[in-house]
Amino acid sequence: MNQESFIRIRAELIAGKKTLPDIVSAYISRIESVNKDINAVTQLHGKEALEQAERIQKKLESGTAGPLAGLVIGIKEVLCQKGYPATCGSRMLADYEAVYDATVIERLTEQDAVIIGRLNMDEFAMGSSNENSYHGAVKNPHNLSKVPGGSSGGSAAAVASGMCMASLGTDTGGSIRQPAAYSGVVGLKPSYGLVSRYGLIAYASSFDSIGPLTHNVDDAALILKTIAGHDERDATSSSLPVPDYPELLKNLEPGIRVGIPEEYFENGLDTEIRENTLRIAAELEKNGAELIPITLPHMKYAIATYYILATAEASSNLARFDGIRYGHRADIKKVRVDLKNEENELKEQLRNQPGGEEQIKEEMARMDSPMIRLYKQSRTEGFGMEVKRRILLGTYVLSAGYYDAYYGKAQRIRRLITDDFKNAFSKVDVILSPTTPTTAFDLGSQVNDPLQMYLNDIYTISANLSGICSINVPVGKHSADQMPYGLQIMADAFHEQKLFNAAKLVENVVNGD
Ligand code: GLN
């Protein structure tokens, strides 16, 4: 598989050893040959990518190209790109074309990245296997009978199989890091607020973040530098200055304090993943790091807390997809005919019973108006099972009688989890753990068991609950199934430079540098 790093390719472009149109053509051919098996790319923008490549090649030759000239990147379909469908992997938005560019797209193209196409995902970013997509499941390039992880499964598989140099994904509970781990690539979830969410179709607004998936840590640092930074169109966007991450990476600081959280190495974790993670930690220690055992006592509540708060936010965010303002609209004529038929059936049944006329009146008053039925039918047809499950759950936890018991309580636990991290980061620079408890599972093996599926995110979710930053670094393949897995590093909010520093140290250990 093509594992070319952007930074190397860029050097070759600048030295005139390669040309960008040739590179883009090679990626297009690669997509044309392997995507039919992997199903990661939902829209290939070959012609446009080649046009961009010609234009940027001229800039490279005249020395006026931006810092991302040479980067060939794919974009998760949840991010708006003007003039192209933003389907979110859903029938609901199958015909929706974005009318503006997300800030991240604007920033990538301003810096001369070439966007090669759009990438498959779990519907509305809900899932851990990329099996919940209107475009069909994505397959893991390392073994086509396995899932690539989700919800950014297309973003991970496209990079892993060499269909692009890098991609953008989104992470609300682990959707960049978990598929990155299952597919053997680097995946970064930036701190909440560091990257503008303008143009990201929301799933759970207080958790959503956008980040890169790449072949190595340097590429992730460079892309983050481009897409990060204040944006007045996102009210939660931070105004902190963005450090020059790639520059800082040139001087690695090995003497870091690394927290080893007890709760991340307990039951359910594969033995080989545990041992290899601890072995890498020991290598870091040999190179000058200090390992410090820590505890994150509220971690056990993370999954339950997330599935209350994220579904509550989703139920509100997804209310706009009603077939009138946005999204798939059911056939209004059929809706009217169905209603008429139901009305006639009702009359037929009740007419000859004692008090029938009265009952008919009552039942008729209870029946949907054509407008309400149109909303219901449109949403019934437009959304898949998992999305419906979450809207129902979210609506339930927000309902008047249960609000305090579920939503209110989950908010308080979110605070406790955030405090656990605050406490930990007063003693350590970064926290190291596995990214997932196992390697990628078989396609179809967990789709009917939502609880089992939710457990895939056990190590990733708490970073989203607390807004800190976190990265997956691939560390090798498991001896049992030859599938990749990764190690997760977490750092306090807006300390991405610490994250990259530690990630690069791990990468060096893994590569034997
Ligand atoms: N897998 C988690 C979920 O299903 C996380 C999704 C995400 O990060 N978008 O919600």
What pLDDT, on a 0 to 100 scale, did the predictor assign at position 456?
Answer: 87
Q: What ligand 1 atom has the least distance to the C-alpha of 170?
A: 9
Distances (CA, A) of 119 to 14, 80, 275, 408: 29, 12, 34, 36
Name the active-site residue from 128, 129, 151, 155.
151
Burial of 301 (0-12, 13-18, 19+ CB in 10 A): middle
Q: Return d(Cα 354, Cα 269) in angstroms, integer.
A: 65
CA 503, CA 432: separation in Å to the nearest integer? 10
Q: Whose CA is nearest to atom 4 of ligand 1?
A: 127
Tell me if 323 CB under 6 Å of ligand 1: no
- Evaluate whether 147 touches 159 at the Cβ level (below 8 Å): no
Decide if 507 contacts 284 (C-beta within 8 A). no
Q: Do residues 410 and 309 lie in contact, with contact meaning Cβ atoms separated by under 8 Å?
A: yes
Looking at the chain, how many residues does it have? 513
Q: Which of 121, 170, 457, 464 to mutate for ligand 1's pocket (most ligand atoms within 8 Å of CB)?
A: 457
Nearest to 223 by CA among 70, 80, 81, 84: 70
> Which domains, from first to last, does the chain contain?
6-303+420-511 (3.90.1300.10), 304-407 (no CATH)
- The CA 457 to ligand 1 mean position distance, Å, reads 8
Cβ(171) – ligand 1 distance below 6 Å: yes
CB 126 near ligand 1, within 6 Å: yes
129, 133, 167, 175: the catalytic one is 175
pLDDT of residue 351: 87
Q: How many Å lie between the centroid of ligand 1 and the Cα of residue 92?
A: 19
Q: Is 151 a catalytic residue?
A: yes
Residue 174 Cβ < 6 Å to ligand 1: yes
User: Could you give the C-alpha distances from 234 to 86, 103, 239, 300, 309, in angstroms and in order?
Assistant: 19, 9, 11, 32, 21
- Those residues whose C-beta lies under 8 Å from the C-beta of residue 240, and which sit 6 or more positions away, are 194, 230, 494
* Ligand 1 pocket member 200 (CB < 6 A): no
Closest Cα to residue 490, out of 417, 434, 439? Answer: 434
Q: What is the distance in A from the centroid of ligand 1 to the CA of 502?
A: 25
CA distance 55 to 60: 9
Mutate to test the pocket of ligand 1, among 122, 435, 447, 452 (most ligand atoms within 8 A of CB): 122
CA of 353 to the centre of ligand 1 (A): 52
Sequence-distant (6+) residues with CB within 8 A of 82 are 98, 99, 100, 101, 105
Cis peptide before 479 (omega within 30 of 0): no
Alpha-carbon distance of 393 to 311, in angstroms, equals: 6
- Listed in sequence order, the DSSP H helices in 100-232 are 103-110, 153-160, 177-183, 217-227
Q: Is 133 a catalytic residue?
A: no
Q: Check residue 1 and give its pLDDT.
A: 47
Print the SS3 string covering 490-511: EECCCCHHHHHHHHHHHHHHHH
Q: What is the DSSP letter of 369?
A: P
Query: What DSSP element (H or E) covers 75?
Result: strand 72-76
> What pLDDT was estimated at residue 141?
98
Instruction: Tell me how far apart the alpha carbons of residues 132 and 155 are, in angstroms, rounded to a whole number.
Output: 15
The tokens of 138 are what? 């994505």
CB of residue 151 inside a 6 A radius of ligand 1:
yes
C-beta contacts of 332-339 below 8 A and 24+ residues apart = 332/370, 332/374, 335/370, 335/373, 335/374, 335/377, 336/370, 338/373, 339/367, 339/368, 339/370, 339/373
Q: Quick one: which atom of ligand 1 is closest to the CA of 172?
A: 8
What is the structure's pLDDT at 2?
Answer: 57
How many Cα neighbours within 13 Å face the side chain of 77? 35
Cα(475)–Cα(275) distance, rounded to whole angstroms? 12
Q: Which residue has the tokens 């069909």?
A: 136
Give the Å distance between the CA of 450 and the centre of ligand 1: 12
At 256 the three-state DSSP class reads coil
Ligand 1 pocket member 127 (CB < 6 A): yes
Q: What is the pLDDT along the chain (513 residues), one digit of tens a residue?
A: 456 789 899 999 999 999 999 999 999 999 999 999 999 999 999 999 999 999 999 999 999 999 999 999 999 999 999 999 999 999 999 999 999 999 999 999 999 999 999 999 999 999 999 999 999 999 999 999 999 999 999 999 999 999 999 999 999 999 999 999 999 999 999 999 999 999 999 999 999 999 999 999 999 999 999 999 999 999 999 999 999 999 999 999 999 999 999 999 988 899 999 999 999 999 999 999 999 999 999 999 999 999 999 999 999 999 999 999 999 999 999 999 999 999 999 999 988 888 888 999 999 999 999 999 999 999 999 999 999 999 999 999 999 999 999 999 999 999 999 999 999 999 999 999 999 999 999 999 999 898 888 888 999 999 999 999 999 999 999 999 999 999 999 999 999 999 999 999 999 999 998
Neighbour count for residue 134 (Cβ, 10 Å): 20
What is the per-residue pLDDT for 353? 87
- Distance separating alpha carbons of residues 130 and 42, to the nearest angstrom: 13
Separation between Cα atoms, residue 512 and residue 5, nearest integer Å: 18
Is the minimum distance from the CB of 155 to ligand 1 under 6 angstroms?
Answer: no
3-state secondary structure 143-174: ECCECCCCCCHHHHHHHHCCCCCEEEEEECCC
Tokens of 166: 């890098």
Q: In whole angstroms, what is the distance from residue 398 CA to residue 410 CA? A: 11
Tell me, yes or no, if 76 is annotated catalytic. yes
> Please, which residues bridge with residue 291 across strands?
258
